[in-house]
Amino acid sequence: MNRATVNDWPSGVNTSARLPAPESLSLAKQVSQMVVVRASGHLFDHEIRYPDWEADSATLTHYVEELGVGGVILLGGSAAEVGLKTQAIQTQARIPLLIAADVEEGVGQRFSGATWFPPPMALSAVADRDPTAALAYAEAFGAATAAEALAIGLNWVLAPVVDVNNNPANPVINVRAFSDGLERVSALTQAFIRGAQTQPVLTAAKHFPGHGDTATDSHLDLPVLPHGLDRLHELELTPFRAAIAAGVDSVMTAHLQIPALDARLPATLSPATLTGLLRQEMGFDGLIVTDALIMGAIANTYGPYEAAVLAVEAGADVLLMPGDPEGTIAAVVEAVNCGRIDPARITASVERLWRAKQKAAPALLPDGAGHAWEHLPPPPVNLAAVAQPATRQLAADIFTASMTVRGQIAPATAATPGHNIVIVDDVVGCRFLERTAAALTWPQRHHYHLKLVDTQGCQHWQQREEILAEHELRPSLVQIFVRGNPFRGSAQLLQLATTWLETLRSAQLLRGVVIYGSPYALEQLRPYFEQVPHGFTYGQMPLAQSLILPALLPELSATPVNQEFTD
């Protein structure tokens, strides 16, 4: 079906709002506006990485043109591809789309070519040394992320994470949070939002009412937060109040059970949590968006349709990534028709969506009357605003200010080469270990030859005796890439890393260690390398590698210096 034959769209436009009045849309079209579907940022279907979750081109066109969904969340591809894709789908849409991405570490985290910043927790390390600089970096980080998002057609930045990560075993939040300290999370949250507000994009505080003190992966199962109301108000809820005070546009729910708020339903599906607490008590009148409804914490128990109906009943305005978008729309429509959901509940959500779209798509919503807004082309891709030298320098400055370097690693020699042992969870599809990555090339220049170890291919190397039997050991630099790992956790990787470190240390062959990613892993592994040169950086990407390795392993022609930063 083409756009000219789509039925039950309004014949007129509310010129004061520059969008059709919600009640002028059919019920199905109103509900459709509440749905955000997932798609790949790649332009070609054969490059889709997650076909079970991401719509192909024909299906996405159906969702946008015929169902009239309200938004799309993108993952993967290059910044240039995403720019073309956002233009295409905005052109297909009768009502401008919210186009979102989880870009907590900058646009380059998801889309190659753009700037990939350190994880937010790096700013806490900066604050340990210079709180004023940390706030300035957070604001600049927010502004740069918003600018690069807007340049490629993204108008909804699903950031910042405002959870207080006070559980080191948290596999979901981890370094995505600004800190494990309440005041620091609140301050950095507000700074990031201030920066993002320099651009007409939406922000999102997540994951309400607080996912930091959990050790269960909500992608797989439902975590339980057992704390009482006093603790929730004193800790978990405080950064959300700070975000609301700063003018955050949306709040994303957490898939977790909090008996003190609702003994029966998880937060995403709880009226007491979303309407009673967030709307009424905390006074938030922006968009409430669910976390992805395909996640196991919700889908395993409630299925795609009942979960969506319960979320709307609870007060959610946006249903993010339902497993079956078309069936979800039908289920919510049926819930209204049978009297389970008040039609005013749907209209209220669409009105909030309209306010958000007025802010996030100003170039798509002219002041003129009539149907001109339906045919206005989207703004052009502005690749000149992506990965500019000043933005990349900002990322480098944050990396440098947050990394730890202790001592210097002695180079090996051509006559007695060493090993560069790189330990990762799964090397297949690993973005940060391409051929030119410094973690591979820099040690090679110093006669440390690559030995790549991952938990998928080396699960049998769990004992020192097995490593000694399998490998010829040499003086070694060990590089460990580890951070919070949804779906799998990091316990197996840490066990493997521990075995390698113990084996090399006992043989007096451990020359240096670099840990990329998790400060919690750093503390867990530190006893095995405390007395040897070592470094830590929050990032895993090539930029982080290229900054920390020269500090630990200087150019062979350079005069060695005793460079050390403290935690």
- For residues 512 and 430, membership in a common domain is answered with yes
- For residues 421 and 310, membership in a common domain is answered with no
Asked whether residue 312 is assigned to any structural domain, the reply reads yes
| Predicted local distance difference test score (pLDDT) of residue 393 | 98
What does the alpha-carbon distance between residue 244 and residue 262 come to, in Å, rounded to a whole number?
A: 22
Which residues are part of the catalytic machinery?
A: 219, 291
- For residues 266 and 155, membership in a common domain is answered with yes
Asked whether residue 381 is assigned to any structural domain, the reply reads no
Burial 183-203 (b: 16+ CB within 10 A, else e): ebbbbbbbbbbbbbbebebbb
What does the alpha-carbon distance between residue 225 and residue 10 come to, in Å, rounded to a whole number?
A: 45
Asked whether residue 301 is assigned to any structural domain, the reply reads yes
Asked whether residue 483 is assigned to any structural domain, the reply reads yes
Containing structural domain, residue 541: 403-552
Cis peptide upstream of residue 542 (ω within 30 degrees of 0): no
Asked whether residue 167 is assigned to any structural domain, the reply reads yes
* Number of domains within the chain: 2
- For residues 187 and 93, membership in a common domain is answered with yes
- For residues 428 and 482, membership in a common domain is answered with yes
Asked whether residue 393 is assigned to any structural domain, the reply reads no
What does the alpha-carbon distance between residue 290 and residue 73 come to, in Å, rounded to a whole number?
A: 13
- For residues 448 and 359, membership in a common domain is answered with no
- For residues 264 and 408, membership in a common domain is answered with no
DSSP state of 494: H
Asked whether residue 473 is assigned to any structural domain, the reply reads yes
What does the alpha-carbon distance between residue 183 and residue 310 come to, in Å, rounded to a whole number?
A: 34
- For residues 207 and 356, membership in a common domain is answered with yes
Asked whether residue 433 is assigned to any structural domain, the reply reads yes
- For residues 357 and 410, membership in a common domain is answered with no
Domain termination residue (choose one: 333, 363, 393): 363
Torsion of the alpha carbons at 534, 535, 540 and 542, rounded to the nearest 10:
-100
- For residues 160 and 34, membership in a common domain is answered with yes
Domain termination residue (choose one: 363, 387, 416): 363
Q: Find how far residue 340's CA is from the centre of its chain.
A: 34
What lies within 8 Å, CB to CB, of 174 at 6+ separation is: 121, 165, 483, 484, 518, 520
Domain termination residue (choose one: 332, 363, 394): 363
Beta-strand pair 534-537/404-406:
antiparallel
| Predicted local distance difference test score (pLDDT) of residue 368 | 40
- For residues 253 and 358, membership in a common domain is answered with yes
CA distances from 237 to 167, 231, 281 (A): 16, 9, 11
Please report how many Cα atoms fall inside a 13 Å half-sphere around the Cα of residue 526, on the Cβ side. Answer: 12
| Predicted local distance difference test score (pLDDT) of residue 561 | 41
Amino acid, single-letter form, for residue 144:
A
- For residues 416 and 351, membership in a common domain is answered with no
Q: Report the 10 Å Cβ neighbour count for 283.
A: 10
CATH of residue 78? 3.20.20.300
CATH of residue 435? 3.40.50.10870
Report pTM. Answer: 0.91
Q: What is the pLDDT along the chain (567 residues), one digit of tens a residue?
A: 333 333 465 543 333 335 788 878 999 999 999 999 999 999 999 999 989 899 999 999 999 999 999 999 999 999 999 999 999 999 999 999 999 999 999 999 999 999 999 999 999 999 999 999 999 999 999 999 999 999 999 999 999 999 999 998 888 899 999 999 999 999 999 999 999 999 999 999 999 999 999 887 777 788 899 999 999 999 999 999 999 999 999 999 999 999 999 999 999 999 999 999 999 999 999 999 999 999 988 999 999 999 999 999 999 999 999 999 999 999 999 999 999 999 999 999 999 999 999 998 765 555 443 334 444 566 678 999 999 999 999 999 999 999 999 999 999 999 999 999 999 988 887 889 999 999 999 999 999 999 999 887 654 445 555 666 566 789 999 999 998 766 566 788 999 999 999 999 999 999 999 999 999 999 999 999 999 999 999 999 999 999 999 999 998 764 444 443 333
